[in-house]
């Protein structure tokens, strides 16, 4: 595979120095991850789950309704939702009434509580998980969370400010071009190869994994 500097040069060739710089994701300080309360982690988790396979704009437009319907995403309250609460939510036109994702939110409230009990808070848990092992974190989220696998988990991590790469279509295209994988991610073996490649580029460049992910996407070329 190419060095990161070569891949970055490809991205600059397509978008220019300023264009690439403008598209780099901002890093969130570790202290800010730790300071974020568990209700906000559950809220972002829920947003990622509901946005998966659905219009992000619709979810965003209804978000105040979600906040109200799920009691501000207080994980202690949501984890105790009863069948009556589920029935209420399924009738609530202020949210997207998807039964499976409603149940996933209730399950994820307990997941957040369990992690907080083990680590002090969900934010502390994520802040202490090394970006060099995103593959391991994705495995944990998939096993212990509900509907938190694949791109849903990746977007959840990125949008909450954790230093995450995302296997978007363009990133996968770039990884295949670099010989890291030969098809979209479908196995633990492929996931490990991707993680190893990101770790190599991070060690070489000193850039965050999120920055490397975005640079890979930009290296594919401009969008029409």
Domain ranges of the chain: 4-27+165-219, 30-130
Give, to the nearest 10 degrees, the angle between helix 4-22 and helix 209-219. 90
Query: Are 102 and 65 a contacting pair, CB within 8 Å?
Result: no
pLDDT of residue 186: 86
DSSP letter for each residue of 90-156: HT-TTS---HHHHHHHHHHHHHHHHHHHHHSSHHHHHHTS-GGGHHHHHHHHHHHSSS--HHHHHHH
Q: CA-to-CA distance for 1 and 90, rounded, in angstroms?
A: 49
Query: Are 11 and 218 a contacting pair, CB within 8 Å?
Result: yes
pLDDT of residue 27: 83
CATH of 30-130, one of 3.30.365.10, 1.10.340.30, 3.60.15.10, 1.10.10.10: 1.10.340.30
Spell out the per-residue pLDDT of the chain, length 224, in tens. 999 999 999 999 999 999 999 999 988 999 999 999 999 999 999 999 999 999 999 999 999 999 999 999 999 999 999 999 999 999 999 999 999 999 999 999 999 999 999 999 999 999 999 999 999 999 999 999 999 999 999 999 999 999 999 999 999 999 999 999 999 988 999 999 999 999 999 999 999 999 999 999 999 988 65
Q: CA-to-CA distance for 115 and 118, rounded, in angstroms?
A: 5
pLDDT of residue 224: 54
Q: CA-to-CA distance for 116 and 210, rounded, in angstroms?
A: 25
Cα 150 to its chain centre, rounded Å, is: 9
* pTM greater than the 0.75 cutoff: yes
pLDDT of residue 221: 85
Distances (CA, A) of 6 to 105, 112, 202, 212: 42, 41, 14, 12
Distances (CA, A) of 130 to 123, 160, 163, 208, 218: 13, 15, 9, 12, 25
Radius of gyration over every alpha carbon of the chain, rounded to an integer in angstroms: 19
């Amino acid at each position: 595979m190419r060095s990161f500097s070569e891949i970055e040069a490809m991205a600059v060739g397509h978008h220019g120095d300023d264009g690439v710089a403008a598209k780099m994701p901002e890093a969130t300080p570790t202290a800010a991850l730790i300071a974020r309360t568990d209700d906000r982690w559950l809220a972002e988790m829920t947003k990622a789950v509901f946005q998966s396979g659905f219009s992000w704009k619709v979810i965003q437009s209804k978000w105040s309704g979600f906040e109200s319907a799920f009691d501000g995403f207080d994980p202690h309250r949501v984890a105790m939702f009863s069948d009556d609460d589920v029935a209420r939510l399924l009738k609530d036109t202020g949210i997207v009434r998807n039964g499976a994702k409603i149940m996933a939110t209730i399950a994820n409230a307990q997941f957040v509580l369990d992690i907080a009990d083990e680590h002090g808070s969900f934010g502390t848990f994520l802040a202490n998980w090394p970006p060099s092992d995103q593959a391991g974190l994705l495995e944990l989220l998939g096993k212990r969370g509900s509907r938190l696998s694949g791109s849903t988990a990746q977007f959840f991590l990125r949008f909450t400010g954790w230093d995450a790469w995302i296997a978007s279509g363009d990133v996968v295209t770039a990884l295949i071009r670099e010989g890291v994988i030969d098809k979209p991610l479908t196995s633990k073996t492929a996931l490990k190869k991707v993680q190893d490649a990101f770790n190599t580029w991070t060690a070489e460049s000193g850039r965050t994994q999120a920055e490397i992910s975005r640079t890979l996407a930009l290296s594919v070329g401009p969008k029409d």
